[in-house]
Amino acid sequence: MIDNKVSQETSQPIAYNPHVSIDCVVFGFDGEKLKILLIERTIREGDGNYSDKKLPGSIIYQDEDLDTAATRVLNELTGLKNIFLHQFHSFGDPKRTSNPRDKNWLEKTTNTKIGRIVTVGYLALIKISRKIIFESENTTARWYDVKSLSNMKLAFDHNQIAEEALKHIRHQVMLQPYMLFELLPRKFTMTQLRNLYDLILETKSDVRNFQKKMLQIDGLEQLDEVQKNVPYRAPRLYRFNKRKAKISKLKPGF
Amino acid sequence: MIDNKVSQETSQPIAYNPHVSIDCVVFGFDGEKLKILLIERTIREGDGNYSDKKLPGSIIYQDEDLDTAATRVLNELTGLKNIFLHQFHSFGDPKRTSNPRDKNWLEKTTNTKIGRIVTVGYLALIKISRKIIFESENTTARWYDVKSLSNMKLAFDHNQIAEEALKHIRHQVMLQPYMLFELLPRKFTMTQLRNLYDLILETKSDVRNFQKKMLQIDGLEQLDEVQKNVPYRAPRLYRFNKRKAKISKLKPGF
């Protein structure tokens, strides 16, 4: 009987109640590379220090709803405010906290016994020009090339969470490219747009076809301006005019 | 300092560790109406019984990952097996368990003190012909017209969860209609497809334009068969051939 099973389960020690945390996957684009925002974690081991990287994340407070927790955590760790954080997936593998290094670090920093943690993944695409507090008393945040993730062992299952976030974006961009504009400066060149598109979808678009395809997007406007301070022939600038796009389609998808 | 804050929080009573549950939103289509699968819940109150409806859901076990829990819970409550359950959103409003009726019911059935519960929402679209165990020793499952949800007060925040699931489907169908075919019989008429489309998107499609639009979908095949045992002129049958569709686009989106 399911309820009996559950009640047997609930007579288990505290570990039975998982903790719930938030992890934020924040992407930025510098015009050439897709970047991800990571926090440096330093662990004292023996006489030395071990340090690695993790996603900005933390355990939720007792009275916080998930979206509130995500906004708070990202702000506390990076200073970022007014970011549209989109919940994309929750991760609950009981083994995701099984690495002793992660477990010890958590129990030290939270001063509590940690069983398993179910984490809710949030995603944000931000202009890389956004002001970020990279160094604070407690944390160091940095932008890293997404390509370098494959050579990094992030804390917990954060490699997997970042990979899922990328898959989510890839799929959304495949269906509607609107979200690319979240990552670009307000005015951008067609080359920047193509670089970003190809980075995310891991494609190599033909210059002419790509431009033709993009110019069909409602809201993508060609400006009478060209990029300034460039050594070569200055390319034309474009901007995305949300009001002219089918906004109704923007939010739910991303 | 964030870790201190967290450690202060974690010195809180058990309620600080939320429970984590799964709730499944299962939709079916009977050819005319979009249906949702609900479980009947009966609560003894005083001398009488109060009964209402809820989504199939339960608290996860200590050693279960989220997808496993979703599959188990749906099977235990409805007998359904081998269902593609898609995680669509998690719900963590601290007030979602604040209704005393819900709280008491939970604490009785789980025989444990319940603080807050973060629930992970899963979504499934199934053929309504699927064999379901509607009556078991412990539970009663039923199909209900989705339209009737607005007049039902479901347990917890299940009205909101069902509404979010509908929004998710609407958006996905708007972007790519593939998932409609999960709800239709293997062979279906254009009218069934149009009814379903209009039900989900709350539109009234023009018969001719709709057919034209749908016939552009890769994988939608017109058969040399007509519907049997119908009083009026038998309409032609269609089927969706996944192999001819861009499968790569099917999974991630839904």
Q: Are strands B34-45 and A220-226 parallel, antiparallel or unpaired?
A: unpaired
Are A194 and A151 part of one and the same domain?
A: no
Taking residues A96-115, report their average pLDDT: 86
Residue B73's domain is classified under what CATH number? 3.90.79.10
What is d(CA B56, CA B39) in angstroms, rounded to the nearest whole number?
6
B253 touches chain A (CB under 8 A): yes
Backbone angles phi, psi at A176, to 5 degrees: -155, 125
Residues A103 and B29: beta-carbon distance below 8 Å: no
Q: Is B37 helix (H, G, I), strand (E, B) or coil?
A: strand
A109 plus A64 within the same structural domain: yes
Check whether residue A131 and residue A199 sit in a common domain: no
Residue A3 has pLDDT above 70, yes or no: no
Amino acid at A147: K
Q: Is residue B181 part of a domain?
A: no
Q: Mean pLDDT of all residues in chain B?
A: 86
Q: Give the mean pLDDT of A183-208.
A: 94
Contacts of B76 in chain A (CB under 8 A): 2
What pLDDT score was predicted for residue B135? 87
Mean pLDDT of A112-116: 82
Task: Verify that B169 and B133 share a domain, yes or no.
Answer: yes
Residue B102 gets the label, from left (phi > 0), alpha (psi -120 to 50) or beta, of alpha
Q: Are residues A93 and A147 in the same domain?
A: yes
Is residue A249 situated within a structural domain? no
- Look at the block and give the residue holding tokens 């994340």: A57
Q: Quote the pLDDT of residue B7.
A: 36
Specify whether B139 is located in the same domain as B58.
yes
Cβ distance of A94 and B63 shorter than 8 Å: yes
Q: pLDDT for A32-43, tens place per residue?
A: 999 999 999 888
- Predicted pLDDT at B16: 61
Give chain B's residues under pLDDT 50. Answer: 1-15, 247-254
Among B148, B173, B198, where does a domain finish? B173
Lowest-pLDDT range of A60-69, A82-91, A185-194, B107-116: B107-116
Half-sphere exposure at residue A70, Cβ-oriented, CA atoms within 13 angstroms: 26
Tokens of A167: 């898959």
- Do B58 and B132 belong together in one domain? yes
Instruction: Tell me how far apart the alpha carbons of residues B48 and A175 are, in angstroms, rounded to a whole number.
Output: 53
Residue A252 pLDDT > 90, yes or no? no
Q: List, as ranges, residues 51-110 from A with C-beta within 8 Å of B.
A: 58-66, 69, 73, 76-77, 87, 89-94, 109-110
CA distance A226 to chain B (A): 34
Scanning B118-137 for CB atoms below 8 A from A yields 118, 120, 137
Burial (CB count within 10 angstroms: exposed 0-12, middle 13-18, buried 19+), residue A12:
middle
| Helix spans in B176-229 (H) | 180-183, 190-201, 207-214
Name the β-bridge partners of B230: none
In tens, the pLDDT along A222-243 reads 999 998 888 888 899 999 998 8
Say yes or no: A17 and A52 in one domain: yes
What ipTM, to 2 d.p.? 0.86
Q: Mean of the per-residue pLDDT values for chain A? A: 86
Q: Do A94 and B64 touch (CB under 8 A)?
A: yes
Task: Mark yes or no for CB contact A20/B16 under 8 Å.
Answer: no
Contact B92 A6 (CB under 8 A): no
pLDDT at A106 over 90: no
A175: nearest CB among B61, B115, B175 = B175
Q: Which long-range contacts (CB under 8 A, 24 or more apart) does A110-115 make?
A: A110/A59, A110/B3, A110/B6, A110/B7, A110/B10, A111/B7, A111/B10, A111/B11, A112/B7, A112/B10, A112/B11, A113/A14, A113/A15, A114/A19, A115/A13, A115/A14, A115/A15, A115/A16, A115/A17, A115/A18, A115/A19, A115/B62
| Domain count within chain B | 2
Residue A243 has a pLDDT of 83
**pLDDT at position A43:** 85
Question: Which pTM value belongs to this model?
Answer: 0.88
Per-residue pLDDT band for A16 (boundaries 50, 70, 90) equals low
Tens-place pLDDT, residues A128-172? 999 898 888 778 999 999 999 999 999 999 999 999 999 999 988
One domain, residues A80 and A28: yes
Q: Give the residue among B175, B188, B201 at the shortest CA–CA distance from B239.
A: B188
Q: How far apart are CA B177 and CA B183, in angstroms?
A: 11
The structure tokens 């009987």 sit at: A1
A250 pLDDT more than 60: no
Domain membership of residue B117 (yes or no) is: yes
Range of the domain at B198: 186-244
- Is A164 at the interface with chain B, CB within 8 A? no
Contact indicator for B20, B60 with CB cutoff of 8 Å: yes
Do the domain assignments include residue A250? no
Contact B6 A109 (CB under 8 A): yes
Band of pLDDT at residue A14, cut at 50, 70 and 90? very low
Q: Which of A54-58, A201-205, A249-253, B152-156 has the lowest mean pLDDT?
A: A249-253
- Structure confidence by residue, pLDDT tens digits, B181-216: 999 999 999 999 999 999 999 999 999 999 998 998
Q: What is the CATH number of the domain that holds B208?
A: 1.10.10.10
Looking at residue A66, its amino acid is: L
Is residue B53 located within the same domain as residue B111?
yes
**CB-based contact, A19 to chain B, within 8 Å:** yes
Please judge whether B94 and A62 are an interchain contact, meaning their C-beta atoms are less than 8 angstroms apart.
yes
Q: Calculate mean pLDDT across residues A186-203.
A: 94
Last residue of a domain, one of A146, A173, A200: A173
- Enter the tokens of residue A222: 């060609």
Q: Chain A contact for B236, CB < 8 A?
A: no
For A33, the 3-state DSSP assignment is: coil
CA distance linking residue B80 with residue B82, whole number of Å: 7
- The pLDDT of residue A102 is above 70: yes
Same domain flag for A215 and A131: no
Q: What is d(CA A45, CA A101) in angstroms, rounded to the nearest whole number? A: 9
Residue type for A132, please? Answer: I
